[in-house]
């Protein structure tokens, strides 16, 4: 392997690429001790650290989690108290056909003379939307219809259908016992990717403003009375006027008459613990101001021979809808490594900010700026060496003519017992070893610059492996051990 590598390097050297490929130039580090620069770097680093800690440990973040929105299912029912046994609880005067409850839309669609009527549980409570919603009926409109001499298998062929159709009286009733209803909700969640599922986790009940109204332990069903639902959702009562349903000659109807949709949004979350092992729920109660809310018409038919009678029922009421949502996640290695990568990348901002301060906000005191200018001069405007001047004489001059004295040579002090390990051409009595041409050029340029302006950096880096030289103290320093040697300029 070694022989092959040597062959490759010989070939590269033949075409002048040996000093351009297969090399690594390390970053030049230097110390800037200006308080403003140090404070800037420290402040940015602390900010980056705070951000990463927030992203990792804040329960609202958990950026190393892969999240999914869980699905949910519910079972909803009402407690049977007051349906119809017990004494109905109703606002005073509600059953007295008071004119303030009349609804005058015109065009034959007027709701007048509201009174009260008892209904059974099945008439009042309706489940819908795969048990995610339940409606409590507050108003029932009944309209009687009759048909006679209609088509039948045994009767005559009436191409026009029923020969006699009549519409009877329409009555409007408030449901007296619905105010005492209590709704029970058993709820569950399922997050298949995170492999988490369960029923009735610990749940906080919040009102529409976000205030906590109750806390239920794991395994407890949600039980809310209709009065609680109205209060938590932001409605004063069913007697408040629904302005979204306005348009009547007598003003908007009450929510008891128009119906209302109350939404319970159950948010499932497992970010409270670092490992995501505990799922918690928060149920927030709000109402949706959408105008009218009804179950729609239903028909009850009675038939005898070719005569038919029917009653059309229209149910308005409080529809309670459960909406499952949330974020349930699990630890993801790739996301975790991504957060660590962000931390490493963002730390570079500290160096950028410190460089900006040192380059632009310190003026003449900017040590870093002067160092960069000095290093640029060394890199791009190297002093002409004696060998270069000998090889490239001035125009019109003979080779070797007009050449000044050779530039000073730089040496470092070696231990006497190790002098024999060096090239004899580089050894100077009694104990000095010469630097190579490139290092000597850098040292001479730094020496001249420091002699002209003592404010410039006096340290020349990497004159040897982990070796720096101070042209001020004329010492070579080993960065790893701190050991110092004398240097000689001659």
Residue 21 lies in a domain: no
The predicted pLDDT at position 179 comes to 80
Distance CA 416, CA 14 (A): 38
Residue 10 lies in a domain: no
The CATH number for 484's domain is 3.30.720
DSSP code string of 185-209: EEEEEEETTTTEEEES-SEEEE-TT
Helix or strand (DSSP H, E) at 111: strand 110-111
Per-residue pLDDT of the chain (490 residues; tens, 9 = 90+): 556 656 665 666 666 554 544 443 434 444 556 778 788 888 888 998 898 888 888 888 888 899 999 999 999 988 865 455 544 556 666 777 777 788 777 666 677 888 888 888 888 888 887 668 998 988 888 888 777 766 654 455 555 566 666 777 788 888 887 887 899 999 999 999 999 999 999 999 999 999 999 999 999 999 999 999 999 999 988 888 888 886 666 678 888 888 899 999 999 999 888 888 899 999 999 998 788 888 777 766 665 555 667 788 888 889 999 999 999 999 999 999 998 998 888 888 888 887 777 767 776 555 555 555 555 455 444 444 434 444 444 444 444 444 456 788 999 999 888 888 888 888 998 889 999 888 888 899 899 888 888 888 888 888 888 889 999 999 999 988 889 999 999 8
Pair (296, 418) in one structural domain: no
Residue 94 lies in a domain: yes
**Structural Rg of the chain based on CA atoms:** 46
Pair (285, 138) in one structural domain: yes
Pair (410, 486) in one structural domain: yes
Residue 27 lies in a domain: no
Pair (243, 302) in one structural domain: yes
The predicted pLDDT at position 154 comes to 43
Residue 438 lies in a domain: yes
Pair (337, 288) in one structural domain: no
Residue 99 lies in a domain: yes
Residue 13 lies in a domain: no
The residue segments making up the domain with residue 165 are: 66-329
Pair (124, 266) in one structural domain: yes
Residue 228 lies in a domain: yes
The CATH number for 189's domain is 2.60.490
Pair (353, 250) in one structural domain: no
Residues 6+ apart with CB under 8 A from 286: 208, 233, 234, 262, 263, 265
Which DSSP state fits 29?
P
Pair (343, 207) in one structural domain: no
Pair (371, 434) in one structural domain: yes
Express each pLDDT in 141-168 by its tens digit: 888 877 776 665 445 555 556 666 677 7
Distance CA 191, CA 327 (A): 9
Distance CA 393, CA 399 (A): 6
Per the DSSP assignment, residues forming a β-bridge with 165 are: 147
Distance CA 321, CA 312 (A): 26
Pair (301, 435) in one structural domain: no
Total number of domains in the chain? 3
Distance CA 83, CA 178 (A): 8
Pair (119, 248) in one structural domain: yes
Pair (182, 46) in one structural domain: no
């Amino acid at each position: 392997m070694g022989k092959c590598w040597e062959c490759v390097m010989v070939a590269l050297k033949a075409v002048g690429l040996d000093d351009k490929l297969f090399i690594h130039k390390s970053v030049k580090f230097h110390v800037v001790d200006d308080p403003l620069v140090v404070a800037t770097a420290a402040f940015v680093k602390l900010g980056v650290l705070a951000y990463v800690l927030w992203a990792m440990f804040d329960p609202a973040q958990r950026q190393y989690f892969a999240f999914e929105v869980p699905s949910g299912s519910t079972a909803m029912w009402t407690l049977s108290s007051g349906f119809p046994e017990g004494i109905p609880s109703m606002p005073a005067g509600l059953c007295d056909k008071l004119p303030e409850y009349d609804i005058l839309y015109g065009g034959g669609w007027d709701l007048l003379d509201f009174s009260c009527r008892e209904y059974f549980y099945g008439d009042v409570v309706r489940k819908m939307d795969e048990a995610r919603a339940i409606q409590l009926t507050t108003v029932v409109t009944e309209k009687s219809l009759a048909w006679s001499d209609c088509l039948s298998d045994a009767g005559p062929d009436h191409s026009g259908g029923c020969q006699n159709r009549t519409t009877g009286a329409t009555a409007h009733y408030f449901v007296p016992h619905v105010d005492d209803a209590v709704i029970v909700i058993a709820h569950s969640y399922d997050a298949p990717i995170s492999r988490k599922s369960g029923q009735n986790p610990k749940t906080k009940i919040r009102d529409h403003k976000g205030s906590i109204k109750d806390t239920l332990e794991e395994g407890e069903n949600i039980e809310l009375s209709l009065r609680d639902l109205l209060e938590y959702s932001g409605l004063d009562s069913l007697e408040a006027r629904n302005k979204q349903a306005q348009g009547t000659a007598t003003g908007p109807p009450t929510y008891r008459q128009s119906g209302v949709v109350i939404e319970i949004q159950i948010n499932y979350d497992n970010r409270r613990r670092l490992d995501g092992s505990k799922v918690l729920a928060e149920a927030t109660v709000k109402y949706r101001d959408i105008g009218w809310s009804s179950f729609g018409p239903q028909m009850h038919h009675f038939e005898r021979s070719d005569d038919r009678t029917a009653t059309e029922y229209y149910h308005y009421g409080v529809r309670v809808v459960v909406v499952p949502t949330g974020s349930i996640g699990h630890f993801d290695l790739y996301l975790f490594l991504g957060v660590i990568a962000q931390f490493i990348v963002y730390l570079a901002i500290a160096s950028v900010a410190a460089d900006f301060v040192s380059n632009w906000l310190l003026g003449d005191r900017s040590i870093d700026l002067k160092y960069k200018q000095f290093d640029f001069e060394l890199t791009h405007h190297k002093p002409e060496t004696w060998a270069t001047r000998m090889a490239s004489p001035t125009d019109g001059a003979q080779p070797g003519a007009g050449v000044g004295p050779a530039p000073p040579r730089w040496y470092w002090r070696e231990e006497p017992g190790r002098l024999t390990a060096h090239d004899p051409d580089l050894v100077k009595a009694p104990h000095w070893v010469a630097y190579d041409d490139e290092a000597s050029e850098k040292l001479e340029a730094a020496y001249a610059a420091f002699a002209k302006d003592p404010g410039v950096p006096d340290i020349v880096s990497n004159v040897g492996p982990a070796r720096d030289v101070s042209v001020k103290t004329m010492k070579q320093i080993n960065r790893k051990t701190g050991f110092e040697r004398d240097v000689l300029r001659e």
